Structure 1
Amino acid sequence: MLFQVEMDVNIPPGFDPEEAATLKAAEKVRFQELQKAGTWRHIWRVVGRYANLSIFDVPDNATLHELLTTLPLYPFMTVRVTPLCRHPSSAHADDR
């Protein structure tokens, strides 16, 4: 099942810069694991914000929730999820 996930990151002012850098590095590692597994199919940066728009491919809502909570920056995120389904006019057979 495909999901559009918008993630806005808001690390509070005054948060320890070294800890923030460590969390960001861990976030990148986790993202790359999920991308290589085919779970995190696409990611785009939102211009002018510390945010991204991503496409996830997971079996269900619960799996997506569990996966998102494993992200190191999750405690600092506002997340919006939109379930997606294949459009009948799509020319791509892998749009499920």
Structure 2
Amino acid sequence: MLYHVRMDVLLPTDMDVDTVNELKTTEKALSQKLQEQGKWRHIWRLAGEYANFSIFDVESHEELHNIMMSLPLYPYMKVEITPLLRHPSSVRDDDS
């Protein structure tokens, strides 16, 4: 199942810099592992914002939920999730 996910990161302005750096480092490692596994298919930074658009390819709503909850920055995110379906006018037979 494909999902479009918008993640806006809202870190407290008074959060300790070392804590912020540790969260970002851990988040990056996990996101890259998920990308290598094919579960986090795409990630795009939104210019001028601490946010991204991502495409996830997972087996279920529950799997996506568990992935999102495992992200170190999740407690500091506003997340919008949209399930995706193939459009009948698409010229492609796959997700390329």
Instruction: Name the SS for the 1:81 alignment partner.
Output: strand
- The answer to whether the 8 Å contact 1:7/1:53 transfers is yes
Gaps of 5+ in 2: none
Q: Tell me how many residue pairs correspond in the alignment.
A: 96
CA distance in 1, matches of 2:45, 2:61: 23
Aligned-pair CA distance for 1:21: 0.2
CA distance in 2, matches of 1:30, 1:65: 15
CA distance in 2, matches of 1:94, 1:72: 32
CA distance in 1, matches of 2:55, 2:77: 16
TM-score, with structure 2 as normaliser:
0.95
CA distance in 1, matches of 2:20, 2:57: 28
AA matched with 2:88:
P
CA distance in 2, matches of 1:73, 1:42: 18
AA matched with 2:40:
W
AA matched with 2:83:
P
Runs of 4+ aligned structure 1 residues displaced above 6 Å come to none
Q: What residue number does 1:42 align with?
A: 42
Aligned-pair CA distance for 1:91: 2.8
TM-score, with structure 1 as normaliser:
0.95
**Identical-pair percentage:** 52
